[in-house]
Each structure stands twice: as C-alpha cells, then as structure tokens.
C-alpha cells in the first residue's frame, strides 16, 4: 500500500501481521499487542492497528511501548478515526499516527491537524489521485475551524481586543 506524509510518498518499513513475528517493524491487532510487546526483540518497532469502531476502553492505558498506531478508515464519510487520533494525542501518544483506508485528498489536511503523520491508501486510489492533489490539499486552506490558530480562536481574540 502506498504511504504518504506531508513531504510525499515514502517507503513503509512496517509489516501488518496477525501475531508477533521477528520482523524489524510490525503492526498487530489489539488482541496480539501484549504478546508482541512481551516478545519484542532488540530494536524491533511495534505498531497497533485499530478498527474505526474502537472503544476508548480498548486503547492501551500505556502507549509508551508503541512506536505507531494505525487507525482504519473504512469509507471517506466515516470520521471516527479522526476522533480516535485526537484522543490518542490528548493522552500524550507521541509516536507515529497512521490513517489507513478510504481517505481522499480533501481530508489530508484535517488528518494532519488531528495528529496523523502519515496516510496509507490503496494503490488504486494513489493511481487515480496523484501526489500533487494530496499535497495541494494541505495548503488549500489558510484557516480552519479546528485546532490552534483556528478561525474561531482568531475571531474570539479579535473580539477580546
């Protein structure tokens, strides 16, 4: 699957697996996470994949052992993954957040503002929507309704002044 960050396409060092393996960088489902962390080899990077319907209680309390969290987006109209990202960042997860699935270029800037660092998309979508579309979407809007420096914060500051 093609992997995209704010600088363009990049190589994916991780392998998506169902259970722990000795590969240098793996992404496992929640049910395999404890074993993967316990059996981690020297220098191995561990990632966790989360479905879009993940309950907050399913998130690990301690994310310090995780290098990456991959959040699935089953459709471009399903925004639950954005909420999961905000919750993880709010709980001080400082590792790599990856959005995976049916995102479109118009959602790329919002994904970055929610805390995602990279997006994994299908080869078909990458062929249909070239890198120029993705990167242009990041700079298409100068103001946003969410996050620091948002339109709402600027309006409130102007009123207060």
- Strand intervals (E) in the chain: 3-5, 8-10, 15-16, 25-29, 45-50, 68-73, 96-101, 118-120
pLDDT of residue 63: 78
What b/e readout covers 23-55, taking b as 16+ CB neighbours within 10 angstroms?
eeebbbbeebbeebbeeeeeebbbbbbbebebe
Rg for the chain, CA atoms, rounded: 17
Q: Does 56 or 94 have the greater pLDDT score?
A: 94
Give the strand pairing for 96-101 and 15-16: unpaired
Instruction: Give bridge partners of residue 27 from the DSSP assignment.
Output: 16, 47
> In this predicted model, what pLDDT tens digit does every residue of 87-118 receive, in sequence order?
888 888 889 999 999 899 989 988 998 899 99
> In this predicted model, what pLDDT tens digit does every residue of 18-40 receive, in sequence order?
999 999 999 999 999 999 999 99
Q: Which domain holds residue 143?
A: 3-160
What are φ and ψ of residue 9, in 5° steps? -70, 150
Number of domains composing the chain: 1
Check which CATH number belongs to the domain holding 41 and give it.
Answer: 3.20.20.70
């Amino acid at each position: 699957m093609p992997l995209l960050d704010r600088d363009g396409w990049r190589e994916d060092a991780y392998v998506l697996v169902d259970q722990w393996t000795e590969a240098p960088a793996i992404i496992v489902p929640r049910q395999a996470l404890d074993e993967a962390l316990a059996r981690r080899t020297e220098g191995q990077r561990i990632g966790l994949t989360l479905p879009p319907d993940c309950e907050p209680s399913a998130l690990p309390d301690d994310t310090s052992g995780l290098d990456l969290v991959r959040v699935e987006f089953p459709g471009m109209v399903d925004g639950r993954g954005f909420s999961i990202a905000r919750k993880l960042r709010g709980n001080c997860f400082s590792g790599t957040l990856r959005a995976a699935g049916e995102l479109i270029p118009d959602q790329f800037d919002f994904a970055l503002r929610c805390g995602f660092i990279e997006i994994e998309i299908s080869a078909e979508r990458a062929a249909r929507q070239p890198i120029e579309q993705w990167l242009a979407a990041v700079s298409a809007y100068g103001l946003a309704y969410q996050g620091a420096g948002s339109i709402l914060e600027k309006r409130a500051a102007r009123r207060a002044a």
